[in-house]
């Protein structure tokens, strides 16, 4: 199987992860403060995923590590992804985005060799607790993918203490 570099970039994006070419300046929304002050509100993250390293574990499975940058090149986070190829052009992936305030988890699929990707936000920790939403991405180069994540989250409710009889 011939591996296409854009698929690896897309795979770890979320890329993903992709990490979402949107050649407009990518903006990484300030995460924890905005989310913490507006639980349930919709937030959008736009950034460029730059593939740093990928490792092939089986004929069809790769792991990737990437740096997520703004349109001006400032590092806004990182992501790690596990990509499984179904065919030469079709792959699925799980990804974890590491951001100020917590982790954001997602899954996505590409059906055109990594040129584009679509998927879902499936959860998170900290400021991204109970996050749900979408991931889209488009390859810019063989090692860069523009990613857009739209999500909302709500903190896990604090259990109410109960009194014991007696």
Torsion angle, alpha carbons of 110, 106, 52, 11, to 10:
-10
pLDDT surpasses 80 at 150:
yes
**Residues in contact with 23: Cβ distance below 8 Å, sequence separation at least 6, in sequence order:** 140, 146
68-109 pLDDT tens trace: 999 999 999 999 999 999 999 999 999 999 999 999 999 999
Degrees to nearest 5, angle at CA 71 with 65 and 77: 35
Question: What is the per-residue pLDDT for 40?
Answer: 76
Please tell me the pTM assigned to this model: 0.74
Contact in structure between 50 and 146 (CB atoms under 8 Å) = no
pLDDT for residue 26 is more than 60: no
Question: What pLDDT sits at residue 6?
Answer: 45
Average pLDDT over residues 138-144: 95
Outline where the chain has alpha helix (H).
5-12, 31-37
Residue 64 has pLDDT above 70, yes or no: yes
Average pLDDT, the chain: 80
Flag the least confident range among 2-6, 100-104, 112-116, 131-135: 2-6
- Residue 101: DSSP 8-state: T
> Residue 9: which of 148, 109, 150, 141 has the closest Cα?
141
- Residue of 15, 21, 24 whose CA lies nearest to 50: 15
In angstroms, what CA-CA distances link 139 with 34, 130, 142? 28, 28, 7
């Amino acid at each position: 199987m011939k591996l296409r570099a854009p698929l690896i970039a897309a795979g770890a994006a979320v890329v993903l992860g992709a990490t979402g070419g949107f050649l407009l300046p990518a903006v990484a929304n300030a995460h924890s403060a905005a989310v913490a002050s507006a639980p349930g509100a919709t937030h959008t993250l736009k950034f460029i995923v730059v593939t740093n390293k990928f490792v092939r574990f089986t004929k069809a499975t790769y792991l990737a590590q990437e740096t997520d940058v703004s349109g001006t090149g400032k590092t806004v986070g990182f992501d790690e992804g596990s990509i499984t190829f179904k065919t030469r052009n079709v792959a699925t992936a799980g990804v974890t985005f590491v951001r100020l305030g917590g982790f954001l988890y997602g899954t996505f699929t590409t059906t055109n060799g990594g040129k584009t990707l679509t998927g879902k936000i499936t959860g998170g920790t900290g400021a991204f607790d109970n996050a749900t939403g979408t991931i889209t991405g488009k390859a810019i180069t063989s090692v860069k993918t523009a990613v857009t994540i739209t999500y909302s989250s709500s903190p896990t409710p604090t259990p109410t203490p109960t009194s014991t009889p007696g």
